[in-house]
Amino acid sequence: MKIEALETIKHHPIYMELGDIKTVDEVDGQYCVDHGWARNVETDEVGEREGGPISLAIDSSNHSTKSEVK
């Protein structure tokens, strides 16, 4: 199976950078395509990536802590 990396893939035994096109084992290639990491060049199939961008924003920097000098 020939796949094109849609992002950096570090899933043993496949290590690819964005845009790389490589012939890989059918099972490993399909795994990457199913997870949305790669596109099947032969069929143009792309799986759907689960989730979305994760925000690391913290809502409150106070965290209910308080200090007093006595």
- Across all residues in the chain, what is the average pLDDT? 86
pTM, full prediction: 0.68
* pLDDT tens by residue, 35-61: 999 999 999 999 988 776 677 776 665
How many Cα atoms occupy the beta-carbon half-sphere of 26 within 13 Å?
Answer: 0
* pLDDT tens by residue, 7-36: 999 989 999 999 999 999 999 999 999 999
Q: Confidence band (pLDDT; 50, 70, 90) for 68?
A: confident
DSSP 8-67: -EEETTEEE-TT-EEE--HHHHHHHHHTTSEEETTT--BPPPPS-PPP---S-SSTT---
